[in-house]
Chains A and B, each alone.
Chain A
Amino acid sequence: MSGVGSDEVTALAAATRSQDPEVGLTAVAALRGLVDVLEALQVENARAKGWTWKAIAERLAVSKQAVHQKYARGRLPRIGR
């Protein structure tokens, strides 16, 4: 929807602001929001394909307890009862 002109402006703004911590940190948070969803998606898929928590944890380079705690069913609905 946005034209080439606005893209150029964006690119220019990004270049001039790349040193600004506010922009850099906000971008990192956006990236984290993306990674969190991708991780959830991949873990869900691996579990559906019968992968063990241990195997998933190895691929994610974290402990099996960490993945289990984050993604095992039954954890989420506990809050707010």
Chain B
Amino acid sequence: MLERFSDAAVQVCDLAYEEAERLRHDYLGPEHVLVGLARTSDAGVDKFLSVRGLGHDVLRAGLDRLVADGVLPSPWRNQADLLRGLGIDIGEVRLVVERSFGPDAVCAALRRTRRWSRLRDLPFLSGGPPSPLEGKAMVAKRAFWLAEQEATGLGQEQAGPAHLLLGVLRDAEDPAGTGLSRRARRGRAYLGLASHGPSPVRRLVEGAGASLADLRADMLTSLHVAT
């Protein structure tokens, strides 16, 4: 999915992953990517955000508040922790299974249990709740896809952090859960995410006194100045 992402953009995804881990979230969402973007110095994206009141610590505090308000999942929903509560060490299970069948077989079994969706060709989260044996659910998929569209629109081969920011902002304009199948909405509900109302990124941005449209316009201007 990240073939067209530049190294810097992939690095943002790693930072986003770290943020999701910190919150014990089983998914990687656009809100985590936004925090990742606030931590990347590439193309001055971190500076761009911080001068508009969206610094790394502001966003982080914003995420914590959204968790406290129940907009984002609480840490207790972490599947590995829930299974540990039942006496199952999922890391150990994964190790044993991969040792006996190989990682490819585990991937194939995961694909098999994900039922095919009519929407499988669409770039959105499909399928039901994630299995604890797979990585994080890609809730940010639509934002990633939009980032690639932004890069294409600007005549760029690769999507960098700036395009990623545009993708996240564009995705956030629509209500949470836009374009998802009923099954995918169920998947979101299982994760503890609403499929209606303003997107978490919109809440974050507006909570910090910024606006999605202004950020987008400013980012586009700075990209045009740079080229």
Contact = CB atoms under 8 A, between A and B. Distances in A.
Contacts of A44: 105, 108-109, 112
A62 B224 CA distance: 63
Contact of A38 (B21, B85, B97): B97
Interface residues of A, number: 27
Contact of B82 (A1, A11, A30): A30
A36 B21 contact: no
B26 to A, nearest CB: 9
A66 interface: no
A14 B24 CA distance: 14
Contacts, number: 85
Interface of B, helix, strand, loop or mixed by DSSP: helix
A34 B106 CA distance: 11
A27 interface: yes
A34 B105 contact: no
Given A26-B77, A44-B105, A80-B117, A34 B84 contact: no
Interface in B82-112: 82-86, 88, 90, 93, 97, 101, 105-106, 108-110, 112
B79 interface: yes
Interface of B: 21, 75-77, 79, 81-86, 88, 90, 93, 97, 101, 105-106, 108-110, 112-113, 115-120, 129-133, 190
